Structure 1
């Protein structure tokens, strides 16, 4: 019995010593530094984030995650309580993202600042300041990966429609026409060879034509200069035209009135000759008198009146 009592006492003493060592280690390792509380409220998923996870500010350890839970006021919103060193420069433009440690999948809170508002944020247990949680690289990749998968699925559907039997036949026909066009283009150099051979002669002829045109242009310039010189043929023709105009005006003033008189005299002469032809005796006896009119002596009324 006495041996059993000694063994029990020894066991209890060992257990007490182990508990004392554990408590001493906890007491020695406890964080005695005063921390500032902050809070993150988000609707984003926080996979791999656990209490006591590390809080880092641009890669430096500045605190721990003290609690993770749901917001009782807003359904679906997650609240993450942080305990951060007081010298951490948390400003109004500070934001948080989730980072992941290697391949373990354990997450930590990464604090960063874009510098848009450098005013410091004051936080206390009575008034806990909140920090914005932005999508992490994994969230962005997940969203973009989903969009890429949707686009890939749409592309696959379109390719399936494009490669149906009818379109395959159309594509083969197009390739055949392209091949025929390539053969025709390949034959073009041989068809153009005679034209290319005749090009030097055509160029020489064109050069001669250009030379002749140049000579003609110089001759025209010389002729134009001669026509513009004093006493040139154009000026003489103009002077002659002026003389003709003066002569025409004189003819109109002097000759045309004489012509009118001559015409009147000729008409009188014609009437006189006609009278002589009709009554030649008028040369001896004179012309016939004018017959008396009504009311005059010797007037005879026509029969039947």
Structure 2
């Protein structure tokens, strides 16, 4: 019985020790620091990233990855939930990249900024469960992978072009092209001999050009002198004592004499001519009425009232 009682006590002691150890471990693992949650959304691969992976800000651990899941609204999109300590300076200029630790390949989230001032990072929508989102940029390895794929594509194109260049049909074309180049070089070698006579004539042509320039210069000087003479002649003609001024004065005098002397005389002569015409008209009318007046003269006028021989006219009976 004693053996059984000792075994039972040992079993109870072992169970109690396990329970106490579990409670102590849970107490030690309990984090009393309040953390701020953020959300990271990406369409890229997050291979090597696990739950409770570290979140570092400029190399300092500030939190952990608490959730990795797919976005049910956007197929192929991955949503990462991270929690960091409140003192982490997360702003609108902060971005995340996927980094790898050493040669183990264990991934973690690296936070950094663009070295620009930013404001407090808030949720992009007004939903209650919405979290502020930190953009995830491609890591160095991802950029190298993309550029490596592009380089491989360019290398493949270069290889295809080299194969086309080394095609059996191309050497003949290359040989023909080289032959054309050789002929062109031979023709170019004959060019200096053809140009030599023209080059020999260049000194004489240069001398003629210089003489022509001297003649043009002299002509320009003569033209300037002629222009100066014309300017002097124009100034003399336009001066107050020049011939144009004298001609204008003579015209003014003639105009004044015509206005003050000739026109009044013409007006007087015109008046006398009008009087003569009136008298001539009267004489013509008298001759028409009494042609005998040419021989007997004009009859004496009838006596008027109060003159001798006046006879009053007799009125007709009513």
Q: Give me the TM-score of the superposition, normalised by structure 2.
A: 0.52
Residue pairs, 1:266-277, within 5 angstroms: none
In structure 1, how many angstroms separate the alpha carbons of the residues matched to 2:24 and 2:87? 29
Structure 2: distance between partners of 1:116 and 1:176: 67
Alpha-carbon distance change, 5 to 167 in structure 1, aligned in 2, over 3 angstroms: farther
Secondary structure of 1:130's counterpart equals coil
1:139-150 matches, cutoff 5 A: 139-150=142-153
Larger relative contact order, structure 1 or 2 (CA cutoff 8 Å, min sep 6): 1
Closer, same or farther in 2 for the Cα pair 1:181/1:102, shift >3 Å?
Answer: farther
- The CA distance in 2 between the partners of 1:122 and 1:71, in whole Å, is 17
Partner in structure 2 of residue 118 of structure 1: 119
Q: Show the 5 A alignment for 1:99-248.
A: 99-114=99-114, 115=116, 117-121=118-122, 126-131=128-133, 132-171=135-174
Residues 1:17 and 2:20 are matched in the alignment: no
Shift of 1:92: 1.4
Distance 1:64 1:178, change over 3 A: same
Q: Is the CA contact (8 Å cut-off) linking 2:65 and 2:82 kept in structure 1?
A: yes
- Deviation by residue 1:66-89 (Cα, 9 ceiling, x = unmatched): 111112222222111111111111
Q: 1:150 to 1:111 in 2, by over 3 A?
A: same
What is residue 48 of structure 1 aligned with on the other side?
48
- The alpha-carbon distance between structure 1 residues 126 and 13, as it changes in their structure 2 partners (threshold 3 A), is farther
Is residue 121–residue 132 contact of structure 2 (8 Å, CA) maintained in 1?
no
Task: Point out where structure 2 has 5 or more consecutive residues left out of the alignment.
Answer: 186-318
CA positional deviation for 1:145: 1.3
How far apart in 2 are the matches of 1:22 and 1:179?
A: 92
- RMSD, aligned α-carbons: 4.6
- CA distance in 1 between counterparts of 2:3 and 2:58 reads 62
Q: What is the CA-CA distance between 1:7 and the residue it aligns to?
A: 2.4
1:58 paired to 2:58: yes
Structure 1 contact 37–128 (Cα < 8 Å) conserved:
no
Instruction: Please identify, of 5-14 and 137-146, the stretch whose mean Cα deviation from structure 2 is larger.
Output: 5-14
SS in 1 for 2:132: strand
Q: Name stretches of at least 5 consecutive residues in structure 1 with no aligned partner.
A: 183-305
Preserved CA contact (<8 Å) 1:56 1:110: yes
Shift of 1:96: 1.0
Per the TM alignment, residue 52 of structure 1 is displaced from its structure 2 partner at its CA by 0.3
Distance 1:133 1:112, change over 3 A: same
Aligned partner of 1:238 in structure 2 is none
- 8 Å CA contact retained: 1:101, 1:107: yes
Question: Does the 8 Å contact 1:42/1:79 carry over to 2?
Answer: yes
SS at match of 1:129: coil
Distance 2:178 2:19 in 1: 85
Match of 2:93 in 1: 93
- Number of equivalent positions: 222
Q: Is the 8 A contact 1:54 1:61 kept in 2?
A: yes
Aligned to 1:83: 83
User: Residues 32, 119 of structure 1: CA spacing in aligned structure 2 closer, same or farther, 3 A cutoff?
Assistant: closer
Q: How many Å apart are 1:121 and its aligned residue? A: 3.9
In the TM superposition, residue 48 of structure 1 has moved relative to its aligned partner by 0.9
Q: Shift in Å at residue 157 of structure 1?
A: 1.1
Tell me the distance in 2 between the aligned counterparts of 1:138 and 1:31.
33
